[in-house]
Each structure stands twice: as structure tokens, then as C-alpha cells.
């Protein structure tokens, strides 16, 4: 009797494992990320840019998937504008799957949006392409999904050839106090804010320079 119950238990476990995609079962891994950042106007390398990687998972149980942050890592660019974030591996609970990594690039006086290094106009990289753009062979040329009319009505996404890992930050033209406050509130979950001291400092610096209402 006991052997039959044990066999049935093993069968249930195997069925549960088979029901969850193999890449999603407990194992979460993201590669190392590397990039080089330039000033969009002068083409000079940008030193001291805060680079934040937000690692996310999606909980597949239930009717609506929920995306959650599981880790945040921060670094900054060196005198040559280069940053590097090591690979990250952890364990996640069953019924969770890997979601793409979100990146933030911030330096006072510059916009948070970035564009591939070979684009002179605004062109946003699709969110699920960020990871590939910064993790595959640095400096190689390949096609990436871009939207040349980022921020405008109607998507015009299509594939363009870019140099992987190389981006430009546009200079800041205008910015409202409300935009800064929204960033400090929603960019990163509050419980992870202690992991982004450079970004926190930059946002407070920018906020202090805006006129008080």
C-alpha cells in the first residue's frame, strides 16, 4: 500500500513538472550585460551614467499574469563610457517564468531615453530587445526591433541594423517637477531603492534644481 502511494506521489510531481515550461521551473538566469554610452550631441563618451538593471519574473498562475521585480543591480559608466553588469542566477518559485530585464540610464542634464548609437533621431528599442542588445557580442552588428517615432501616436516598429551595446543619451531640453517626482516614485520598487544609491542621488539632485511650486 505504501509503495503504491509513493509511486502515485512521484507521478504527481512529474506531472506538475511537465505542466510547467522547462525553462521556467525554479531556475532564473540572466547573462552579463555590457554597453558603451555617448552624448547624442557631441558623440563624446559619457562618464558617470547611472546604469540600473531591473530583473523581473512573471507569475503565470491565475487568470492574469503578474510581473514582479526580483532583483535590482546598479553600476555606472567609466571614463570611456563603458559599463558592465555580471550575470545573475537565482531560484524562483514554481509557476513563475523569466521576464525581460528593464534598463534605466540616468545622468543629470540628460534624458532617460536612449537610442542606438547609429541613430541620430529618437528611436526606442523594444523592451524585450533590451536584454539581447546588451548581452550579445558587444560591438557586433545585427537587426533589432526599433520604433523611430517613439512617444508619438501610432507604432512604426520594424527591424533596423544596429551596433550591439552602443547607445546615445540625448541632452535634456525641458522637464517638469511632476516628471521627476513620478520617476522617484515608480521607477523602482521602494524595497529595492537602497540598491540604487547613484540613481537616488541623481534624481534628488535634479529635483532640487527645479523651481518649487
Distances (CA, A) of 184 to 130, 189, 206: 22, 10, 11
- The predicted structure's pLDDT at residue 185: 46
- The predicted structure's pLDDT at residue 25: 55
Return the C-alpha torsion angle 185, 186, 192, 198, nearest 10. -70
More confident residue, 112 or 1: 112
> Is pLDDT above 80 for 9?
no
DSSP string computed for 3-42: HHHHHHHHHHHHHHHHHS-GGGSSEEEE--EEEEEEETTT
- The predicted structure's pLDDT at residue 32: 96
How many Cβ atoms are within 10 Å of 121's Cβ, its own excluded? 10
Q: What is the pLDDT of residues 194-211, one digit of tens each?
A: 999 999 999 888 777 766
Q: Which residue has the cell 543619451?
A: 169
More confident residue, 109 or 71: 71
Give the pairing of strands 166-169 and 115-116: antiparallel
Give 212's pLDDT tier (boundaries 50, 70, 90). Answer: low
- The predicted structure's pLDDT at residue 174: 66
- The predicted structure's pLDDT at residue 12: 44
Full strand arrangement of the beta sheet holding 141-147: 124-125, 141-147, 158-163
Least confident of 91-100, 119-128, 130-139: 119-128
**Summary mean pLDDT of the chain:** 79
- The predicted structure's pLDDT at residue 183: 52
How many Cβ atoms are within 10 Å of 207's Cβ, its own excluded? 14
Give 50's pLDDT tier (boundaries 50, 70, 90). Answer: very high
**How many residues are recorded in the chain?**
213
Q: Above pLDDT 90, what percent of the chain?
A: 36
> Is pLDDT above 50 for 10?
no
All residues at 6 or more sequence positions from 145 whose CB lies less than 8 Å from its CB, including other chains: 125, 126, 129, 157, 158, 159
Return the C-alpha torsion angle 147, 148, 152, 156, nearest 10. -50
Which H or E element spans position 1?
none
Residues 142-166 as b or e (16 or more Cβ within 10 Å = b): eebbbbeebeeeeeebeebebbbbb
The residues pairing with 120 across neighbouring beta strands, listed in sequence order, are: none
Q: What is the pLDDT of residues 163-194, one digit of tens each?
A: 999 999 988 876 665 555 555 445 688 899 99
- The predicted structure's pLDDT at residue 19: 47
All residues at 6 or more sequence positions from 165 whose CB lies less than 8 Å from its CB, including other chains: 34, 35, 36, 133, 134, 138, 139
Give 84's pLDDT tier (boundaries 50, 70, 90). Answer: very high
Amino acid at each position: 500500500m505504501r509503495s503504491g502511494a509513493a509511486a502515485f506521489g512521484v507521478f504527481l510531481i512529474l506531472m506538475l513538472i511537465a505542466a510547467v515550461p522547462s525553462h521556467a521551473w525554479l531556475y532564473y538566469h540572466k547573462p552579463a550585460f555590457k554597453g558603451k554610452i555617448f552624448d547624442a550631441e557631441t558623440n563624446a563618451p559619457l562618464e558617470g551614467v547611472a546604469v540600473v538593471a531591473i530583473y523581473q519574473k512573471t507569475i503565470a498562475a491565475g487568470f492574469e499574469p503578474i510581473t514582479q521585480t526580483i532583483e535590482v543591480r546598479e553600476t555606472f559608466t567609466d571614463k570611456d563610457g563603458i559599463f558592465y553588469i555580471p550575470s545573475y542566477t537565482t531560484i524562483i518559485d514554481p509557476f513563475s517564468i523569466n521576464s525581460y530585464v528593464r534598463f534605466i540610464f540616468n545622468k543629470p542634464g540628460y534624458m532617460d531615453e536612449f537610442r542606438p548609437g547609429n541613430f541620430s533621431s529618437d528611436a526606442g528599442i523594444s523592451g524585450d530587445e533590451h536584454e539581447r542588445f546588451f548581452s550579445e557580442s558587444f560591438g557586433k552588428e545585427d537587426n533589432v526591433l526599433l520604433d523611430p517615432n517613439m512617444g508619438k501616436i501610432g507604432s512604426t516598429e520594424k527591424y533596423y541594423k544596429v551596433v550591439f551595446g552602443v547607445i546615445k543619451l540625448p541632452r535634456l531640453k525641458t522637464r517638469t517637477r511632476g516628471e521627476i517626482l513620478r520617476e522617484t516614485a515608480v521607477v523602482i520598487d521602494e524595497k529595492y531603492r537602497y540598491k540604487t544609491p547613484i540613481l537616488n542621488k541623481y534624481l534628488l539632485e535634479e529635483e532640487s534644481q527645479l523651481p518649487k511650486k
